[in-house]
Structure 1
């Protein structure tokens, strides 16, 4: 299921970055949030990275990223969404600052989107115990030990009260849910975008070109 919500005029989407960041899982989302083509309000959104510190990190694909800001500089009031990509750190103490920030965002009513291993980190932090959610597999989350198994949904992406969760196998569905939540595109434009990228139907391209 997909929810939408209104956002403020100043809209910064923050992407959490850390070593072993799974590059490919959020690329469809960040590229189309940052690129103003087809937006309802071109120039409304910007994407900024946030790390545990401002020290460089290395993604799973071997790219070096210097975070724009550190977690302790980030306040929910300054953001419209925190996006958490998959990673190999989620079961370790090194990932706890990111789940703590996700909790702060949700408590403040600001959206969080997590995919793949990031959902494991949220589960370990108790953030999936009372929200419908998905992940790579029910067995994956059961393996980390959490109390929300009854709310697991076997769907590519699930949104519940501001928290978007997605499967690593479904980055395009994840991107669509994020853009719907932020109202980046008009609904009909988002449908055409998904027709092109999600269904690989070239008709979506021509619809977008005429939008």
Structure 2
């Protein structure tokens, strides 16, 4: 069974990971594990209080197939954790890393986007990150981009973000396609 780690930050954007978590867990039998900085309760932008399963310190790439980071207000507030060590451990270990919205810029800060096709909220937000030099690989588009076990998306694209993660994990099939189709009908 696949295992996905979702790294939640205080004020995380709950809608950016909700579809992935629901489809993966409820329809595809994936184990979804949530993490917070210290394993304590985090509150989303929408006021949802989540009691995570583990702390960031317990995020061992050997135990997971993917590390997914939703965006949120922590980056705007200057309070977001540095995910560099985790991102490099997962990606270097052949695991999938994914970031949406502000978390795509967090991936830019780690340097993992410097040689892969990627997107995000804007090239400008990535370019503010000192570890980022991947401007030539930036794709200005409203859908998620997947390349070499790295998935990025602007905050407006949780559906394609979910699709690309499921595809990259080998979970894309009739059941996943049917569930995503139901959620994406509005966008056709």
Tell me the TM-score normalized by structure 2: 0.88
Structure 1: which 5+ residue stretches go unaligned? 1-9, 203-211
Match of 1:178 among 165, 175, 188: 165
1:126 CA drift (Å): 1.5
- Over the aligned positions, Cα root-mean-square deviation in angstroms equals 2.1
CA change 1:151–1:77 in 2 (3 A) is same
Which residue in the other structure is 2:186 paired with?
Answer: 200
Which residue in the other structure is 1:100 paired with?
Answer: 85
Which residue in the other structure is 2:139 paired with?
Answer: 153
CA contact (8 A) 2:7 2:34 kept: yes
CA contact (8 A) 1:54 1:67 kept: yes
Structure 2: which 5+ residue stretches go unaligned? none
Match of 1:137 among 122, 129, 137: 122
Q: Partner of 1:130: helix, strand, or coil? A: coil
Q: How does 1:55-70 map to 2 (within 5 A)?
A: 55-70=40-55
Which residue in the other structure is 1:17 paired with?
Answer: 8
CA contact (8 A) 1:180 1:190 kept: no
CA contact (8 A) 1:29 1:175 kept: yes
Which residue in the other structure is 2:26 paired with?
Answer: 35
Greater CA drift, 132-141 or 167-176:
132-141
CA change 1:201–1:168 in 2 (3 A) is closer
Q: Partner of 2:31: helix, strand, or coil? A: strand
CA contact (8 A) 2:114 2:134 kept: yes
CA change 1:104–1:93 in 2 (3 A) is farther
The structure with the largest alpha-carbon Rg is 1
Question: Aligned residues, how many?
Answer: 185
Q: In structure 1, how many angstroms separate the alpha carbons of the residues matched to 2:161 and 2:148?
A: 16
CA change 1:163–1:172 in 2 (3 A) is same
CA contact (8 A) 2:41 2:52 kept: yes
Q: In structure 2, how many angstroms separate the alpha carbons of the residues matched to 1:192 and 1:66?
A: 30
